[in-house]
Amino acid sequence: MTVDLAIQKDTIYRKWVSSKGGVYVSQSTTAPNKYLMVPHRDIIASEGLKLTLVNPAYMTRQVNELAKTEKIITGNITSLKPINPANNPDEWERKALEDFEKGEKEISGIDTASGSDIFRLIRPFVADKSCLKCHGSQGYKPGDIRGGIGSSINMQPFYAIERQIKISLFLTHGLIWILGIAGIAFSYNRLSAQNGKMRLSEHNARERMKESQNALRRFELLTSLAGDLLTMTDPQKFVKELCTRIMEQLDCQVFFNFLVDEKDVRLRLNAFAGITDEEARRIEWLEYGVAVCGCVARDGCRIVAGNILTVPDPRTELVKSYGIRAYACHPLQVSGGKVIGTLSFGTRTRDSFSDDDLSLMKAVADQVTGAMIRVQVQQLLQQKNNDLLAAQMHSSMKT
């Protein structure tokens, strides 16, 4: 796309100069074009200023030579019958020009003749009436293929970006694999322990079978969520969908996901369920050390609170106002102990969580952390790519 835009730009510049019959510039900055044989090529303006006529081809060549010194996207004009020998085609261009004579409309590809991978694009340049002022003596008529106009760009910066993206994907897949193995091991151990006790009694057997089924459903849920990590692009939507499914498994009615805002040095509500939108707007921003989530973000440690309705605790006053009886909040913690947010679940139907419930919450918090890291890495790489392309385009437009 970048090379295509460069060719369009060069073509528009040429059409504008051609429509004006060329432009006059000072001979102090531009030497006369010795290959331009037209009347009034060189004139003397008022006050003795010497001017020379710059035709489209001469203008395009000078712009492209300037682009080469700036090490940005470069362009070139060429022909099988050039007036200026400097416009003679190289081997790649000659083959493309011969293909244009056979009806091809565009030629592109990677050229390695210079020792580096260069992406090149060239299109036929069709003669019109304004071109005949300089090229009519060569026998061209309007509509004839007069040559080609091309553009090229070094692929090395793009290869570097590609390598960074591949490394990011490798690390992400590795994290997902580790989480998947951990989930499998967790579920297998639970199933093994439960199956050994199923003969105690009919009542206990039914209870163990129920727990086994719950563990299996949790294992399947964790496995499914690990796969979803690969395609997640919207962190807020992903977390809400993920936690809604977890709430059903845990018999919870609320969840909150706060993320650290580095700029404001406080927490911002990223996703939630179980409260009204109006209430969510009221608690959108949370200071460190305030309520359960603020304390977890500050200290980097899990907080589990039970019997909330009967046990006084300033940290649980906020969730208590929502009718929450048991509440658990985990930090979203990356390597090195840095906290990037919190994930919490609450229930209105019981006063405590089981160890299995807390283990599932911890596994989900780890998966959410991995998802956030992957998105941040991809966004950073995409921003670097966009900045590089924008800088190249800006430099190209300046020339």
Band of residue 218 on the pLDDT scale cut at 50, 70, 90: low
How many CB atoms sit inside 10 A of residue 258's CB?
28
Mean residue pLDDT of the chain comes to: 79
What value does the mean pLDDT take over residues 120-136? Answer: 70
What value does the mean pLDDT take over residues 216-234? Answer: 59
DSSP 14: H
How many CB atoms sit inside 10 A of residue 158's CB?
16
What value does the mean pLDDT take over residues 276-304? Answer: 95
CATH 3.30.450.40 residue ranges for the chain: 160-382
| pLDDT tens, position by position, 339-372 | 999 999 999 999 999 998 999 899 888 888 887 7
pLDDT for position 303: 96
pLDDT for position 216: 54
| pLDDT tens, position by position, 276-285 | 999 999 999 9
CATH architecture observed for domain 2-23+56-154: 2-Layer Sandwich (3.30)
pLDDT for position 267: 96
DSSP 342-367: EEEEEESS-S---HHHHHHHHHHHHH
Q: Is the pLDDT of residue 321 over 90?
A: yes
Residue type for position 278 = E
Q: Is the pLDDT of residue 376 over 70?
A: no
Sign of CA dihedral 66, 134, 90, 144: positive
Distance of alpha carbon 300 from alpha carbon 184, whole angstroms: 27
**Which fold does the domain 160-382 belong to in CATH?**
Beta-Lactamase (3.30.450)
Distance of alpha carbon 194 from alpha carbon 186, whole angstroms: 12
